[in-house]
Amino acid sequence: MKNLKRVLAIVMVTALSLSILAACGGGGKKSNDYALLSKSTGNPYMEKQAEGFKEAVAEFEGNAIVKFPANPTAEDQIAMITELVSQGVAGIAVAANDYDALEPALKEATKKGVKVISLDSSVNPASRLTHVNQADPVAIGVSLVEAAFDLTGGSGQFAILSATSTASNQNTWIENMKKTLEDPKYADLELVKVAYGDDLRDKSVSETEALLQTYPDLKCIVAPTTVGIAAAAKVITDNGLVDTIAVTGLGLPSEMAEYMVEGGACPYMFLWNPIDVGYLAGHTLKAMVDEKATGKVGDKFEAGRLGSMEVVDATSGDGGTEVLLGDPFKFDLDNIGEWKSVY
Amino acid sequence: MTAKQDKSIVRSLSVARLRDIGLVLFIVILSIFIQFRNSQFLTISNLNNMLINACIMGILAVGMMMVIITGGIDLSIGSTLALSGMSAGLFVRDNPDAPVIIAVLIGIAVGMAAGFVNGLLVGKGGVLPLIATLGMMNVYRGLTYIIAGGAWVSAHQMNDGFKAISFYNILGINSMIWIAAIVFLIAYFFLNYTRTGRRVYAVGSNYEASQISGTNVDNIQILVYTIMGGVSGLSGILWVSRFASAQGDTAQGFEMNVIAACVLGGVSITGGSGKVPGVALGTLLLGILRNSLPLLKVSPFWQDAIYGVIIMIAIIVNVMVKRTVDKRNLQRRHI
Amino acid sequence: MNKIAAKLPSAGQDSFVRKYLMRWEAILFLILIIVNVFNAIISPYYNFTGILGATRDFMDKTFIVFPMAMVILIGEIDISVAATVALSSVMMGVTYNAGNGVPMVVAILIGIGTATLCGFINGLVLTKFKELSPMIVTLATQTMYRGLAYVILEDQAAGSFPGWFQYFGWGSIGPVPFILICFVVCAVIFTLIINKTKFGRRIYAIGNNREASRFSGIKVEKTRLIIYTLVGFMAGITAIFLTSRMSSTRPNIALMYELDIISMVVLGGISTSGGKGRISGAIISIFIVGLLKYGLGLVNISSQVLMIIIGLLLVISVMTPNVAGKFKEARRQRMLHDKLSIQQK
């Protein structure tokens, strides 16, 4: 028995060292691999972002690696960062599942010479060179409040249906909405509740139903998340309330096309082009890797079909820098038809 | 011998009934409390919403109950639901003119196939149910993502017929409620009035004895897992139809809610016991909780904690009731 | 040696094979070697330094594997572990951020204390209400613990820990990560507890036959209480390493860890029906799952395919010996049948 254990131990050590010997070598020359670390798998928004990233990397003849973690968690992303660093990639663009949690992992990567930027949802300034921001959060806040103002006719109750209570993007946008609401222009507009649908269909639906039951005078629901806005629109449509309650927010055209029709629940909504976000991230990463830009304010670089881009102070005010894609894009009944098949 | 057995059956029935009564009381008290806090709770429209939302959980809980009665468990139902919902959704997207019934059949068939594989692993492969379904949970979820190719099926890609499955009123009552009621009724008759149904209980309460007495235990296990898969497939269709969207991560973690509904309803996790009415009550309790916490204007951050505490109280009250009943029965026997 | 060989004809060889080579741990070990060789073939980046670094990524949750093995050995289960990790980590974070210069050591102790308390509560409920199934109780406490974490921290993150705290998750002694060293120490301690102490034997006894062990004087409920408290304690240890790795904490960390942990234990050959299996198997399976994920990650296999591979690995590896056993049993039956029919003739 004891002997056997000893033998086993010896075999184990030999096998391990053999396999390691077999694996020696490799590495050396400068890498041409550009990695995109997405938020989660099976999400069309993320897929489109990856598509744009690949397009950009193909333009400068790099090799694109795209990773989608199985779960939308920081833990999965940390493991994937290790894998990417082991492969010796030139740069990583990450759409973070957590603002702070990736910091040690990304710093470790930076130490090994990997250039790190974030896109879509940022990591903290200490762990990134710069951030590719899809749209100015202040502009998003203003647009959404303005939409609520418009759809309620200037006064009345409205509610927000968000993703999870810890989603940093959504929280920033809601924060900016609240700031905008302080303007006396919106004095008659009452934000009654911020509900969280956790980006789950069933929970978003029951939260919307609860809003309808609790606030019978509700005039508008603003959902700054793709699952939430579709769920809210579905509930409003099913309950025949399209004439009394309007839905708006940030949504995928393909998901919302059903409700953005004449007499539908959602007259208009906003988003940006995720393909462009990914595309810009690809070129930004290239500029960082080639050291044409270092992520300092005022750095300028060429971003393919998007033209010249400039690094600016982060609009979120976190003290870091960012590259801003532009203002949120408005989808309405006129243009939804052409966009619904794009993403 | 038979007389004694009858008596014990009578006693266990009365325990089950008393427990159901306890659960009903708990639900009534809870409802009164909620009604006081928000008068919108006991309105027709809210109750309707609540029932519709509880339907999928109820349908799944019936299947899960059968699995648990045989001493098993199925953790893969959330994935099975997503896989069959996605299969049906993709079919509807690609064949908008095909009759809806084909999509429904595809969904149920995919679910049954998934359940059948689980059943094979458990029945013929001798893999413990927890492990088999834990493994297949990953497999089915991965398959869902792969067949979808990272896309969702959106509302505008589904034809009206498919969306109407969950949005059709018969006698003023929503079709999902009808479907759930029918599933409950069928399960009730199957378990109480058919020989196979009784064998399901036999396998769970005494595995060896039922093996010796000639029941093909493997086949019963394959049967219950296939039924579980079938109802998961049905739920997948209802899910996709109701929310008008098929996503890869649909119903992730939903299995835990379903198991909770079963156990609240008095299904013993060690197998052998469990009744359809109890499961209906368990589902109702969870449905009320999910519906009412947002209505009570409870801070969203408190919802989970309260949910957990109430489930815990319900479980412990359940045990207390059972203990009292058992003690009384024991005393009666002494006399 | 010769003597033994002469003494033991085929039957003896069979038992040797069954005793050692057919043992589950040996098969697992073979799988581990295959995984290593396979990884080395598919990726040029699979090397020793890489492996050592990668252990950091899958080691944090493995501290719970040991007490979970005990729980499963007595035929029970604890689903609340991931929520316990989250609550413990959140407590650690808010204590440190509470102001007044609370030392990190105190925060760590509070974190461990919270986790231990969580485990103790599970144990207390389960031993006071013996008829309750562990699955449902820990299902409920899971919601409670995670819910409490949300109540405490809401949508905030807690962090800005002192620099030395990062050492837990990122530090190394020479080339060996600190977390790996801690893991080895825990592995040795738990292997000794389970294999060499009275307590360990009690666990197996309870798992094999609870009633019998109760009659033979084993304090079953006390043992269960200790085991569940131990699970809580180790969840606290995991919380330290995980929090250190992320240098911050949120209520939604360690999501779904419980299923990963249970998978590793059962893949290690520890049966959920209790009483069967060895801790060494669980230890090997930790490395199988971790290195397989890392190796396939190096060639950027999509996580969807990876999910399927891990799922199939779990099911097939558990099923194969069963099916092989069934075939053997069938052959034995057939031979017996043949023999009988010959005798009848």
Measured between CA atoms, the residue of chain B closest to residue A201 is B243
**Token representation of residue C168:** 């837990």
Q: Among positive and negative, which fits the CA dihedral C148, C80, C118, C239? A: negative
End-to-end CA, chain B: 20
Comparing alpha-carbon positions, the chain B residue that sits nearest to C273 is B128
Q: In the predicted model, is pLDDT for residue A78 greater than 80?
A: yes
* Cβ neighbours of C36 in A, within 8 Å: 15-16, 19
Tens of pLDDT, residue by residue over C252-264, are: 898 889 988 998 9
Considering the domain A137-271, what is its CATH architecture? Answer: 3-Layer(aba) Sandwich (3.40)
CA distances, C275 to each of C108, C158, C206, C269, C272 (Å): 34, 41, 7, 11, 8
Choice between B161 and C1, residue whose per-residue pLDDT is larger? B161
**Cβ-based neighbours of C173, under 8 Å, separated by 6 or more:** C181
Alpha helices in chain B (DSSP H): 2-37, 44-69, 77-94, 100-123, 129-148, 160-164, 175-193, 195-205, 207-212, 217-243, 254-264, 276-295, 300-334
Which residue of chain C is at minimal alpha-carbon distance from B140?
C308
Is the CB of residue B234 less than 8 Å from the CB of residue B179?
A: yes
Separation CA C290–CA B186 (nearest Å): 45
Of the ranges A7-11, A176-180, A309-313, which one carries the lowest mean pLDDT score? A7-11
pLDDT confidence of residue C49: 84
Closest CA to B75 of B38, B35, B122: B122
Confidence of residue C303 (pLDDT cuts 50, 70, 90): confident
Do C246 and A27 make contact, defined as CB atoms within 8 angstroms? Answer: no
Point out the residue among C47, C166, C242 whose CB comes nearest to the CB of A23.
Answer: C47
Q: Indicate the pLDDT class of residue C283, thresholds 50, 70 and 90.
A: very high
On the 0-12 / 13-18 / 19+ scale of CB atoms within 10 A, C256 is: middle
Other Cβ atoms closer than 10 A to B30: 16
HSE-CB for C345 with a 13 A CA cutoff: 5
Biggest CA–CA distance in chain C, Å, is 93
Q: Rounded to an integer, what distance in angstroms lies between the CA atom of residue B153 and that of residue B155?
A: 7
* SS3 label, residue A302: strand
Residue-wise DSSP of A198-265? TT-HHHHHHHHHHHHHH-TTEEEEEE-SHHHHHHHHHHHHHTT-TTT-EEEEB--HHHHGGGSSTT-S
Continuous H helices in chain C: 2-7, 10-16, 24-42, 48-59, 65-73, 81-97, 104-128, 134-153, 167-170, 178-196, 198-208, 210-215, 220-246, 257-267, 279-298, 303-344
Which tens digit of pLDDT belongs to each residue from C195-231?
A: 999 999 999 999 998 889 999 888 999 999 999 999 9
Query: Residue C61 gets which letter from DSSP?
Result: G
Q: Count how many Cα atoms sit within 13 Å of the Cα of residue B58 in the half-sphere of its side chain.
A: 28
Residue of C nearest to A66 (CA): C300
Task: Say how far apart CA C221 and CA B202 lie, in whole Å.
Answer: 30
User: Cβ A70–C304 below 8 Å, yes or no?
Assistant: yes
Instruction: Check if C38 contacts A (Cβ < 8 Å).
Output: no
Model pLDDT, residue B12 = 53
The pLDDT profile of chain B, 335 residues, written as one tens digit per residue, is: 444 445 555 555 566 677 778 788 888 988 998 898 888 888 888 888 899 889 999 999 999 999 999 988 899 999 999 999 999 999 999 988 888 899 999 999 999 999 999 999 998 888 888 888 989 999 999 999 999 888 888 888 888 888 888 888 888 788 899 999 999 999 999 998 998 888 888 888 877 777 777 778 888 899 999 999 999 999 999 999 999 889 888 888 888 889 889 988 888 877 788 889 989 999 999 999 888 888 887 887 888 888 888 888 878 877 777 777 777 777 776 65
Residue C248 pairs with which residues in a beta bridge? C159
pLDDT of residue C4: 41
Alpha-carbon distance B183 to B175, whole Å?
12
A213 touches chain B (CB under 8 A): yes
Which residue intervals of chain A bear CATH 3.40.50.2300?
Answer: 33-133+274-326, 137-271
When pLDDT is cut at 50, 70 and 90, the band that residue A28 belongs to is very low
Do residues A239 and A213 make contact, with C-beta atoms less than 8 angstroms apart?
A: no
Q: Provide the pLDDT for residue B24.
A: 87
Residue A156, exposed/middle/buried by CB under 10 A (0-12, 13-18, 19+)? middle
- Contacting B residues, span 102-141, partner chain C, CB-CB under 8 Å: 121, 125-128, 130-132, 134-139, 141
Looking at residue A199, its pLDDT comes to 86
Residue-level pLDDT at C101: 79
> What number of other Cβ atoms are within 10 A of residue C31's Cβ?
18
User: What's the complex ipTM?
Assistant: 0.84
- Write out C164-215 in H/E/C secondary structure: HHHHHHHCEECCEEHHHHHHHHHHHHHHHHHHHCHHHHHHHHHHHCHHHHHH
Look-up: residue for tokens 């499963």?
C72
Count of all residues that appear for chain A in the document? 343
Nearest to C68 by CA among C283, C249, C254: C283
Q: How far apart are CA B244 and CA B237, in angstroms?
A: 10
Structure token pair of residue A26: 């490799």
- How many CA atoms are closer than 13 Å to the CA of A326, on its beta-carbon side? 14
Question: Would you kindly state where each structural domain of chain B is located, as residue ranges?
Answer: 44-297
Of B134, B312, B322, the CB nearest to C144: B312
What tens digit of pLDDT does each residue of B61-89 get?
999 999 999 988 899 999 999 999 999 99
Are A336 and A325 a contacting pair, CB within 8 Å?
no
Using a CB-CB cut-off of 8 Å, the residues of chain A touching B297 are 193, 214
**Quick check: helix, strand or coil at residue B153?**
strand
CB contact under 8 A, C40 and A20: yes
What is residue B218's predicted lDDT score, i.e. its pLDDT?
86
- Rounded Cα distance, B18 and A209, in Å: 34
Q: Distances in Å between the alpha carbon of B38 and those of A51, B292, B293, B299?
A: 48, 9, 10, 15
Q: Please say whether the structural domain A33-133+274-326 has been given the CATH code 2.60.40.1930.
A: no
Instruction: End-to-end CA distance of chain C: give it in Å, rounded.
Output: 42
How many angstroms separate the Cα of A300 from the Cα of each of A122, A295, A303, A323, C171?
20, 9, 10, 10, 38
Residue B330, CB half-sphere, CA atoms under 13 Å: how many?
6
Q: Who contacts A26 (Cβ-Cβ below 8 Å, separation ≥6)?
A: C44, C45, C47
Q: Tell me the shortest Cα–Cα distance from B217 to chain C, in angstroms.
A: 15
Compute the distance between CA of residue A324 and CA of residue A301 in angstroms, rounded to an integer.
Answer: 13
A234–B243: do the CB atoms touch at under 8 Å?
Answer: yes
pLDDT in tens, A231-252: 999 999 988 888 899 999 999 8
Residue A19 has what pLDDT?
Answer: 52
The count of other CB atoms within 10 Å of the CB of residue C192 is: 12
Does the CB of A42 have a partner CB in chain B at under 8 Å? yes
- At C132-179, the pLDDT tens digits run 888 889 988 999 999 999 999 887 888 888 889 989 988 888 889 999
What letter does residue B246 receive in the DSSP assignment? B
CA B133 to chain C, closest CA, distance in angstroms equals: 8
Domain ranges in chain C are 60-282, 302-345
Instruction: Please name the CATH architecture into which domain B44-297 falls.
Output: Orthogonal Bundle (1.10)
Mark yes or no for CB contact C20/A100 under 8 Å.
Answer: no
Q: How many CB atoms lie within 10 A of CB B297?
A: 12
Q: Which residue of A has its CA nearest to C58?
A: A79
User: Could you tell me which of A131, A193, A203 has the C-alpha nearest to residue A168?
Assistant: A131
Q: With CB atoms and an 8 Å threshold, state whether B45 touches A238.
A: no
State what percent of residues in chain C have pLDDT above 90.
43
The rounded distance, in Å, linking the Cα atoms of A13 and C33 is 10
The secondary structure of A303-338 as a DSSP string is: -GGG-EEEEEE-TT-SSSEEEE--SPEEEETTTHHH
pLDDT at C1: 38
**Among A167, A96, A182, A180, residue whose Cα is nearest residue A139:** A180
Q: pLDDT tens for residues C321-340?
A: 777 777 777 777 777 777 77
Enumerate the residues of chain B whose CB falls inside 8 A of the CB of residue C140. Answer: 260, 308, 311-312, 315
Cα angle C277-C278-C283, degrees, rounded to a multiple of 5: 125
At A35 the three-state DSSP class reads strand
Relative to beta strand C248-249, strand C158-159 is: antiparallel
A201/B294 CB distance under 8 A: no
Strands A308-313 vs A300-302: parallel, antiparallel or unpaired: antiparallel
Encode burial over C62-75: b for 16+ CB neighbours within 10 A, e otherwise.
bbbbbbbbbbbbbb
The DSSP letter of residue C251 is: T
Q: Please tell me the distance from the alpha carbon of residue A138 to that of residue C78, in angstroms, as a whole number.
A: 46
Which pLDDT belongs to residue C174? Answer: 84
Tokens of C136: 């449902």
Residues C15-66: pLDDT tens digits? 555 555 567 788 888 889 988 998 888 888 888 888 888 888 899 999 999 9
Q: What is the pLDDT of residue B96?
A: 85
Chain B residues whose beta carbon lies within 8 Å of the beta carbon of residue A201:
239, 243, 245, 247, 250
